[in-house]
Structure formats: C-alpha cells, structure tokens
Structure 1
Amino acid sequence: MNLTLGQFQDAFVASLYGNPAEELAALTDQPAFAVYRNTVLAGAVDALCANFPSVERLVGHDWMHGAAAAYAQLSPPGDPRLIRYGAGFPEFLDEQTGAQGTPWLADVARLDFDWAVAFSAPVDPSLDLTELAGMDAADLAHCHLRPRRGVRWRWFPLHPVFSLWRHNREGLDWPPAQPWIAEGALLTGDADGVSHHPLDAGGCAFLDACAAGHALEQAALLAEQTQPDLDFNDLLGRLLQARVFLPLSLA
C-alpha cells in the first residue's frame, strides 16, 4: 500500500507513541526504532517536567515523571513549540488526583501552563496612561479595555492556589500561618519575562468582562456585582501598572 507523505507522517508519529501502523511494520519492527521511540518519549516527558515545575516540586520527581510519561503516551506534542506542550495536563491530573487528597494540584498545573503561555505569547503594546488624559467620564465609560495576549488570570474559589503555585515555583517553604482561603492570580508576560500578582474575585470578573468585549462601565458593574466591597479605582490602577491592557479602543 502506497502512502502519501501526510499519511506516512501520521502513521510514523502514531507508531512512536505506541500505536504501530501495519503499513510501517518493516520499519517499526526494527530494534533501532524502539530506541528512537524511547528518545522521542523521553523528550516529551522532559518538556512536561520543565513546563510544570511547581507541580513537580509538590509531588516529587518520580511521581511527576510517571504522570508525564502516562500523559505523553495519551497526548503527544502537537506543536513544535514544546513550551506550549501540556495544555491538557491539568485535566489529566484532575482525573488522577481529584479524589486522592490533592484536588488543588490540577489548578497549580493550570497556573504553570498559564506562565508558559504568557512567556511565549507575542509581546503586544500596552496601554499608556497618557491615552486616558483629557477623557471625560462619558468617554471612559464607553472605552474598551482589551487584555494583551500575554496576560492570563484565574480565580480559585476553594484553595489558595496562587500561594501554592508561587511558593513552589520559587522554591519557598510553605508558611505555617498561611490561610487556606480562595485566591486569584494574574500573570503578565512582556519583553522582561513574566510577572505575577494576586488578584481578587472582582478583578478576575472585570478581566473576564473586558475579554468578552464589554465596555469599561459594564465591566466595572459586573466586577462590583461579583465583589460588592471592591475598590474599583484601586483595581484599575493596579491593572494599568501591571500593563494588562492593549492600547485604547473606543466603542
């Protein structure tokens, strides 16, 4: 059977990850192919361990290596940028650990992957505060603040995921007095790297609304409905200082 180049490539990759194709038996039955397959799998496992350092510190190298190998068998890389490998790894961890006393582990993995996305995203220009100078209240109410592509945020209502992630990402010991409370996280990537900031529920709701296309007035209302005690002026100032938004867009 003659295969097209695309069919050959698909069958070859499938064989590398344990799904041998009959059409390639003459190739894949050779002992050298097993060596090549193990090398490719090891590369995928190494990429996952590198992309999820906070998870590895929490669970240990051996556990992480085993979980990464199992995931790589099920979901080989589909993007040549290995820093973007592992988008489905948090869901995989949910299935593995959700009922084993670490229900927060998958959320820590989500922040690890968000960091990788923020780090590798194109560096968009950011909103300059001078763009707001001279605008009246009506203008501001109708302007659209759009998050840059290198910005990620999440709210975690059950666990202090941001603190768990940050302490393990930075190799810090867990403080005995750390409260076990809901937390949110904001990650911003730019030419200097990735910065991280705590973010409350109202801030996450505000960025959700901005990303959905709501004008500033409506986005602020949704944020205050989510968190009635929100100091919106303080929130907006912190987000502008973190260079979260693209240059101004008027409705």
Structure 2
Amino acid sequence: MTLVEFQTAFWRDLWAEADGRAPPKGPAAQPGFAVYRNTVLKGCAEALVSLYPAVHRLVGDDWMRAVALDAARAAPPAGGDLQHYGAHFPAFLDQALAGGDWPWLGEVARLDRLWSECHVAADAPVLDLHTIAALDPARLATTRLVPHPAARWRWCADWPAFSLWQAARTAAADPNPPCWHGQGALLTRPAGAVLGLAIDSADCALLEACAAGQTLGEALDAVQARHACFDPGASLGRLLQQGAFAALTEMPS
C-alpha cells in the first residue's frame, strides 16, 4: 500500500460507520484506531462550537456540543483547515429543528457564518460619502457601486435574526427582541473589526441590485418599485457609512 493509498483509506475509515457483521479492515483494524476517530470527531465538533458562538450562547453548552457532534458526523471536513469548516451547519439546524421550538436558530447560525466570512475576506478601500457627493446626480445615476469584498448581508423575513444574533454575540442579559418581525443584517469590516447593522428589506434589495451589476439609477428605481416607503438617500447613506461599498465604476459613454 502506498502512502497516498494508506492516507485515503485512513480518512475513509475515520468516517465510516462501524459494521458489526464483519471485522474491520485496513487502518480501522489497527488497535487504538477508535482513539483517532474520536479525536478527529471531537476536533470537528469543537470547531463548530467556536465558529457558531451566538448559537452556542443561545442553546447552552450541552445541547450545542451534542448537536455539533451530530453535524460533524453528517458532514466531515473536506480539508484540514477547520477555520472554514461548517458551512453546512445552518441547514443542518434547519432540518434538525423542523417543527421545533427554535425555528429561527438556523438564521442565527447563518449570521455567525457571515461574520466568519466577513472577518477573513480580502481587504479593500472603503467608498465614502465624500466621493459620492462629489458627483453630479446625472453622472452618479450611471455609475455602479461595487460591494466591498468583506460586506455580507441577509434578509430574514420571518424572524428578528439580527437582534437575536447580536444579543448573543454581545452577551446581553436578555436576548429576546422587543418586536418579533422580519429583519435584515449587514456585516462589514471598514477598519479591521467586523461591524453589524440591522437593515430593512429595501436596503438588502439595494445591495443585491448593486452586486448584480446594475447602475445606481437602475438599482434605486428597481428598489423603489418594490418598496413604496423606500428612502433612497437615507438607505444609500446608511450603507455607505457602514462601509458596504469598495468603489464605484462609471459606465463608458
């Protein structure tokens, strides 16, 4: 057996379900193999606990560690870098909690995931209000706003996911939001630290339109058509102040 073959078999056997009908073969037949299996599984579960701190705080240590073990068994890591492991965890929670008492927990987990993505995203300059203000309205309408590579956003129509997530991340004494309604979240990293902001569905729609490559004029018109109470100036100012954009590009004349 070559080294590559041994490593492949070792990794396969780490995650294989034990079959009591036949004796184990290959690496799994070695004395003490279960120690490796348990160590790797525990390491993956610990990674999920650390990557989803808001979920951990909301559900408690025992429940989190138990469900993290189940999630690790369901989806082993594809590589050795556990910093990026666990993209499956929010959907795993959705399925595990379907019809249960915490239907919003998967959305909180998605914000934990977006925080991690924002934290490790590429650096880039931040587009400021002064640059926008220097352009005349007609010229501004034909430009495209480029979302910052660290910017992440999500709209949750059914739950105040951002308030639940923020209360857990800041260790608030009472994580219960005052109002249970849909809520959006914007995560940015304009100066090295990840910042979070509650935004509405129109703000999310504007970010989506800009990310799709629409000009600012097209994006504002599209959002206005779908959201009657949309305030373009307030929304754009809020997103710019939070560092949601990296640059603007002008369309060729």
- Correspondence 1:213-228 to 2 at 5 A: 213-228=213-228
- Quick one: structure 1 residues 176 and 121, their matched pair in 2 at CA, closer, same or farther if it must change by over 3 Å? closer
Cα offset, 1:202, TM superposition? 0.3
Q: Which residue of 2 aligns with 1:31?
A: 31
Q: Which residue of 2 aligns with 1:120?
A: 120
Q: Which residue of 1 aligns with 2:7?
A: 9
Contact 1:127 1:247 (C-alpha < 8 Å) held by counterparts: yes
Instruction: Note the aligned Cα RMSD (angstroms).
Output: 2.3
Point out the more displaced range, 179-188 or 219-228: 219-228
Q: Which residue of 1 aligns with 2:150?
A: 150
Contact 1:119 1:190 (C-alpha < 8 Å) held by counterparts: no
Distance in 2, Cα, partners of 1:154 & 1:19: 37
- Quick one: structure 1 residues 80 and 239, their matched pair in 2 at CA, closer, same or farther if it must change by over 3 Å? farther
SS in structure 2 opposite 1:145? strand
Deviations 1:96-136 (A, max 9, x none): 10211211110011001111111111122221444335422
Contact 1:210 1:216 (C-alpha < 8 Å) held by counterparts: yes
Q: Which residue of 1 aligns with 2:16?
A: 18
Distance in 2, Cα, partners of 1:10 & 1:151: 37
Partner AA of 1:171 in structure 2? A
Q: Which runs of 5+ in 1 are unaligned?
A: none
Distance in 2, Cα, partners of 1:177 & 1:187: 19
Q: Which residue of 2 aligns with 1:138?
A: 138
Q: Which residue of 1 aligns with 2:247?
A: 247
Cα offset, 1:174, TM superposition? 2.6
Alignment size in residue pairs: 248
SS in structure 2 opposite 1:235? helix
SS in structure 2 opposite 1:155? strand
Contact 2:126 2:190 (C-alpha < 8 Å) held by counterparts: no
Q: Which residue of 1 aligns with 2:166?
A: 166
Partner AA of 1:126 in structure 2? V
Cα offset, 1:89, TM superposition? 0.7
SS in structure 1 opposite 2:228? coil
Distance in 2, Cα, partners of 1:189 & 1:206: 19
Give me the TM-score of the superposition, normalised by structure 1. 0.90
Contact 1:142 1:215 (C-alpha < 8 Å) held by counterparts: yes
- Quick one: structure 1 residues 175 and 100, their matched pair in 2 at CA, closer, same or farther if it must change by over 3 Å? closer
Is 2:223 aligned against 1:192?
no
Cα offset, 1:173, TM superposition? 2.5
Q: Which residue of 1 aligns with 2:74?
A: 74
- Quick one: structure 1 residues 177 and 103, their matched pair in 2 at CA, closer, same or farther if it must change by over 3 Å? closer
- Correspondence 1:221-240 to 2 at 5 A: 221-240=221-240
- Quick one: structure 1 residues 101 and 177, their matched pair in 2 at CA, closer, same or farther if it must change by over 3 Å? closer
Cα offset, 1:176, TM superposition? 6.5
Distance in 2, Cα, partners of 1:167 & 1:175: 5
Partner AA of 1:108 in structure 2? V
Distance in 2, Cα, partners of 1:226 & 1:89: 32
